[in-house]
Amino acid sequence: MAMILVYVSKQSQRCKYIFNLIFSGLVGINVRLTTSKEEFAGFEGPKINYSGELFEDAIFFEPAPLLFESGIRNQNVKLVEYKNIPCLFPVFDKHSSLPFDPFAAAFYMVSRYEEYFPFIKDKYDRYVASQSIASQKHFLQKPVVNYWAEMVKEIVNNYYPALKFRQKKYQFIPTIDIDAAYAFRLKGFVRNSGGFLKSLADRNFSEFFQRARVLSGLEKDPFDTYDYQFTLQKKYNLKPVYFILFADYGYNDKNISVGNIKFQYLLKTIADYAPVGIHPSFGSNFHPEKLEQEVANLSAVLKCEITKSRQHFLMLNFPATYRNLINLDIADDYSMGYASQIGFRAGIADTFPFYDLDSDTATHLQIHPFAVMDGTLADYLQIHVDEALQKIKPLIDETKAVKGTFMSIWHNVSLSNQGKWKDWRNVYEEMIQYALP
């Protein structure tokens, strides 16, 4: 099997990680690193020199220091543009195949290096998109890591035209979060009584009477959009992933009681149609022991191991959040994206393994980034429903251009077609149609 040999002046976990991601993950060819000049000089296959030395018969990429450093240091990250793509970590050796270091740049983005430093938190203690270099330099809506990998592939292919690469295919994965399974049903006497009183206090008589009709069985609960979801799944041959908030009641955790048999039956029904993961409660971020119980409870109801997760409120704290998931044998996380802005938080439109910068080690936790969420458009950006697709389609186009994976987040609530979500159901289906391979 074809392989690329890479010469590095010294071995590092960072080099091993990012070369594997770029070549094995994105470009589609095996790679091996060596520090032996003799082995490199004698190797007759395709080879890359990633060091401060020069070899006549090898592709040369001038390295920035980042991949050979240890610990987390302030990086003076500069930006250059190459082939109309923003690029980080410019280099200046005239022999270098690119005017920037694509490997250091990719590592900086996917490791979320900038999020390990102190930052100004939003009201939910989250890192804010506007603080990121991608937002500040206006490339958040572009999967730059994929583009950098394509640049590397083109250089290698031109130098070694006989080399064969595995072909990538664009994918679309819709995901659904169930934060509130029902608006009125199954909420119990106390919560519904409080809801009736609040509606009266707010003079929201339409909600008062709708709650009454739903509870008396005269009307379907507005958040009960599951049949519609299953119909779309069959119509378009979708392979969605669901994430369920299955936690004790809390200020930001207001789903149905985990002990409710009808709620459990709903979850079993969903699991018959698609994979189901945990939606860790907001409270579990401050009390990690809660997450263990939530995973165990959902596993007991569905009678299967829970290996997928997406943080409620997209709460990510590096590296603590991912370490907690790893300790519970979660294999796949789907939280990589911003609540406040659409785009590619890690600069990539493909799955990648989490790299723990604090311990400088790669992990087995696979990160699945998403590009757009319904609440980002409607709540944070306050995009009118008629303009939503104008924001979504360019993200799909970018993802298709690099043969990546376009992932969306929608909620059962936003498919209700009622209140502030009127006509958003149309946006969802049109997005699906446009995003299909």
Residue boundaries of the structural domains of the chain: 3-159, 171-183+222-435
For residue 102, give every residue at least 6 positions away whose Cβ sits within 8 Å of its Cβ, in sequence order, or none: 22, 61, 87, 148, 149, 151, 152
Q: For residue 294, how far is the Cα from the chain centroid?
A: 22
Q: Which residues of 93-108 are buried (b: 16+ CB within 10 A; e: fewer)?
A: eeebbbebbbbbbbbb
Whether residue 178 contacts residue 411, with contact meaning beta carbons closer than 8 Å, is answered with: yes
Q: What is the chain's pLDDT, residue by residue, as a tens digit (437 residues)?
A: 589 999 999 999 999 999 999 999 999 999 999 999 999 999 999 999 999 998 988 999 999 999 999 999 999 999 999 999 999 999 999 999 999 999 999 999 999 999 999 999 999 999 999 999 999 999 999 999 999 999 999 999 999 999 999 999 999 999 999 999 998 888 877 786 777 788 778 888 777 877 778 788 888 999 999 999 999 999 999 999 999 999 998 888 888 999 999 999 999 999 999 999 999 999 999 898 999 999 999 999 999 999 999 999 999 999 999 999 999 999 999 999 999 999 999 999 999 999 999 999 999 999 999 999 999 999 999 999 999 999 999 999 999 999 999 999 999 999 999 999 999 999 999 999 999 99
Nearest to 62 by CA among 95, 28, 27, 109: 95
Whether residue 122 contacts residue 111, with contact meaning beta carbons closer than 8 Å, is answered with: no
Q: In whole angstroms, give the CA distance from residue 317 to residue 82.
A: 32
Strands (E), 134-185: 171-178
Q: In the chain, what's the furthest Cα-to-Cα distance?
A: 82
Q: In whole angstroms, give the CA distance from residue 315 to residue 205.
A: 35
Q: In whole angstroms, give the CA distance from residue 320 to residue 311.
A: 13
Instruction: Give the tokens for residue 336.
Output: 């990589």
CATH number for the domain running over 171-183+222-435: 3.20.20.370
Q: In whole angstroms, give the CA distance from residue 264 to residue 282.
A: 21
pTM: 0.95
Q: Which residues of 33-62 are buried (b: 16+ CB within 10 A; e: fewer)?
A: beeeeeebeebeebbbbbbeeeeeebbbbb
